[in-house]
Amino acid sequence: MKKIIIWAAAALGILSGCASGSGSASKDAKMDRFIDNLMGKMTLEQKIGQLNLHSASGFVSALRVTEEDENVKLLRAGKLGGIYGSGNVEYLRDIQKIAMESGAGIPLITGMDVIHGYQTVFPVPLALSTSWNPEMVEKTARIAAKEASASGINWVFSPMVDICRDARWGRIVEGGGEDPFLGGELAKAYVYGYQGRDGVYDNTDVMTCVKHYALYGGAEAGRDYNSVFLSRQEALNGYLRPYQQAAYAGAASYMSSFNEFEGIPATMNTYLMDELLRKAWGFDGFIVSDATAVLEEVAHGIGDLQEVSARSLQAGLDMDMNSDGFVGTLEKSLQEGRISKADIDRACRRILEAKYKLGLFDDPYKYLDPERAAKDVYTPEHRAFAREAARECLVLLKNDGVLPLRKGTRVAVVGPLAKNGEAMAGSWSMSSHNAESVSLFQGISEVTPATYAEGSWLFKDKDLEESILYGMIKYFAPNYPIPELHTVPQQKLVADAVAKARQADVVIACVGEVANMNGEGASRTDISMPDAQLELLKALKATGKPVVMVLVTGRPLTLNWEAENMDAILNVWSPGSEGGHAVADVLFGDYAPSAKLTTTFPRAVGQLPLYYNHKSTGRPHPDYEPYRKFTSCYIDELNGPLYPFGFGLSYTTFEYSPVTLSAAEMPLSGSVTASVTVTNTGSRDADEIVQLYIHDIYATSTRPVKELKGFKKVHIAAGQSVKVDFTLTAEELSYYNHDCNWVCEPGDFEIMAGPDSERLQKAVLTVK
């Protein structure tokens, strides 16, 4: 058996009890004095009031404050600490004024779901992750912070860093994919972008809220809000790193998730919130529940609202979003001795500290400057960057040589997503002006002669289509007039598209998911192309014209027929405000695609969960070999994916040299450089994402067949070579062992480099 070395565990604060605990004095004595003094003057009710977060009434955008507003009533009674969901500076100014005039005169924090841009919308986060470019992602968050802060918002409910291995889960679109290492790098980038890197909030910096803490992406069967059944070891190794890295980057707050972990809802999970986040990772900000998550603990079967509120507070939750559990029951729990005054003080202090750090006590109107709202939002510079960013997020999945297209080619742009602005903006873009998002048709028709046809319904089942498109509206506004769908027969739509296709040189089919088909509460059991759209694709194929499929989606789909029959597939996700322009840039060759998948694309939904960093069974079966009895495989499908993690084509080709190591052996305290030379063997300059993986060959616990440990995006001119170096230390080779200690175990490791998670060259490193 190998000798186990607990690698730098103390320094990294991994082992329980080795980092600073919660409730201790902060590093800022002036802040501590200020808050001591303030809390000395607050009533118990006012302290509990700070722990209460509500949505701004009706998610206002054009409203002025009235005394009938529920939130105003709460504020006047000292029972509200923050509101979220409004980017209306006038409204927020009015309500902030009331906060300052009421009770202890404490300013509100003002939150918002700013997930991938504010009014200038960037590609959805899953798409952003396929750029493998944390620097670019940081810049998108910086711009989002600038626009949100100009709109009165000082706290964003982002980044969403939930790792997900199951494409059925609609919220896969909001995160950074399936890999914890890449996810960790992106989490840091978002935090730096929103909060700035200097540790001080000026009025363009906003507090982040890392969500959903924790493990929400592990929902069983990909069904939203479902239970999570991960072992603690697997959670630590496969899922928790992005949350941890965000804490190390200084994230100001976290949002507890809806799911349970180890039989305890995350919102009252002492291990997650106190032992891990605060004590092990040293997080010193506040934790807010997800919307109504405290109340939902009742349905989890834990107790009544009073019981779950008390337990959540004691476990480390500081703020209750929309449940009125804290504001409604904590006083009673205190009187009954169920909780202590110290429990309330601790949470209240954390909220006040956040407000202090934001500078709201110096100037409650710091983020409420109407002039900024008019000039800092949706600027031409921001939109130009949205186009640049989107180009880096378009994954070329197939190309028989039809792409790039020559400008001047006559194209038929067909499909129900060709003119859909909302599909460009994607999930969680409620501050965007969807109608202004550049559609695929608009972007393409600006550079080449283009005709348009809608081509098909979304689904053949009208009720299904209606519930997807209007389900949310019906839920919130039952009397909203729903337009009649399917008024033009599918056959006619297809026939029109085929006629346009016949007159064109190339067909561009814009198909896939509308925004409501992914995101929150949008799990799917069938992740193939919706039937009506597949029918359109088949009719287009039958014309014999080259068909370029532009895939709009928020999740991996099963695309076996498409992969076989389309001439090219460009996966554009929901590419944001400038989506149509960015897609045209790539289709017509102004930019060579460079994005690579961060989620595995399965062949069949029955393979899920499917992810590259899986373990080996005792009866392993090769990914691309057919069925063999008594090995770990399916009788009716291959094990391997349709498109693997890390995959994406370019307009050029790259060749990889074998991996070399600066030394074949590495002492535990040392380091080694792994190098690979990449040559651009095609005829155009392009970017390439070079990936480094490891495999721990013998360990005291089973280890994944591959784990990403490094990546670099390099620009390589045609015909040129670039040597790419990666430094490896015990840190990259460590993992959480069976006792959940972070260890580097001496022995042999495979070190692999390549263009994706499958085409890898290997070398062996021995750690002594």
Binding mask 411-440 for ligand BGC (x = CB under 6 A): ------------------------------
161 binds ligand BGC (CB under 6 A): no
Minimum distance from residue 225 beta carbon to ligand BGC (Å): 9
Smallest separation (angstroms) from ligand BGC to the CB of 258: 7
> What does the alpha-carbon distance between residue 261 and residue 488 come to, in Å, rounded to a whole number?
48
| Range 732-751, binding ligand BGC (CB under 6 A) | none
Binding of residue 113 to ligand BGC (CB under 6 A): yes
CA 122, 123, 129 angle in degrees (round to 5)? 115
Single residue of 116, 139, 168, 211 touching ligand BGC by CB under 6 A: 211
CB nearer to ligand BGC: give 277 or 540.
277
Pairing of strands 395-399, 155-156: unpaired
Q: Is 290 a catalytic residue?
A: yes
Whole-number minimum distance, CB 427 to ligand BGC, in Å? Answer: 10
Binding residue (CB under 6 A) for ligand BGC from 162, 166, 275, 290:
290
- Report how far residue 196's alpha carbon sits from residue 149's, in angstroms, rounded to the nearest whole number: 13
Helix, strand or coil, per DSSP, at residue 319: strand
- Total interface residues for ligand BGC by CB under 6 A: 6
Compute the distance between CA of residue 709 and CA of residue 181 in angstroms, rounded to an integer: 6
Q: How far is the CB of 160 from ligand BGC (least distance, A)?
A: 7
Contact 4, 668 (CB under 8 A): no
Shortest distance (Å) from residue 256 CB to ligand BGC? 10
State which residue, 210 or 440, has the beta carbon closest to ligand BGC. 210
**Ordered strands of the 109-112 beta sheet:** 286-289, 253-256, 207-213, 155-156, 109-112, 82-84, 52-55, 320-321
User: Are residues 510 and 440 in contact, defined by beta-carbon separation less than 8 angstroms?
Assistant: yes
- Which tokens belong to 582? 């960015």
Closest contact distance (angstroms) between CB of 53 and ligand BGC is: 9
Nearer to ligand BGC, 194 or 726 (CB): 194
| Cβ 652 to ligand BGC shortest distance, Å | 39
Picking from 187, 116, 118, 130, the residue whose alpha carbon sits closest to that of residue 572 is: 130
Tokens standing for 186?
A: 């992106």
Picking from 502, 567, 497, 506, the residue whose alpha carbon sits closest to that of residue 532 is: 497
Question: Of 257 and 451, which has the nearer Cβ to ligand BGC?
Answer: 257
Of residues 18 and 430, the one with the C-beta less far from ligand BGC: 430
* CB nearer ligand BGC, residue 152 or residue 641: 152
Alpha-carbon gap, residue 675 to 101, rounded angstroms: 63
Pick 430 or 604: Cβ nearer ligand BGC? 430
**DSSP assignment, residue 4?**
P
Instruction: Kindly write down the DSSP assignment for every residue of 503-520, as one continuous string.
Output: TSSEEEEEEE--GGGSST
Report, in Å, the least distance between residue 291 CB and ligand BGC: 4
The pattern of x and - marking residues 487 through 526 that bind ligand BGC according to CB under 6 A reads ---------------------------------x------
Calpha distance 52→79 (Å, rounded): 7
CA distance 671 to 710: 14
> Does 291 help bind ligand BGC (rule: CB under 6 A)?
yes
Extract the tokens encoding 439: 């559609």
Q: Which amino acid is at 728?
A: L
Could you tell me if 301 and 260 are in contact, meaning their C-beta atoms sit under 8 angstroms apart?
no
Catalytically annotated residue among 179, 290, 567, 756: 290
CB 442 within 8 Å of CB 413 = no
Pick between residue 211 and residue 355 the one whose CB is nearest to ligand BGC. Answer: 211
Residue 157 touching ligand BGC (CB under 6 A): yes
d(CA 155, CA 544): 53
Interacting residues toward ligand BGC by CB under 6 A: 113, 157, 211, 290-291, 520
Q: Which residues are catalytic?
A: 290
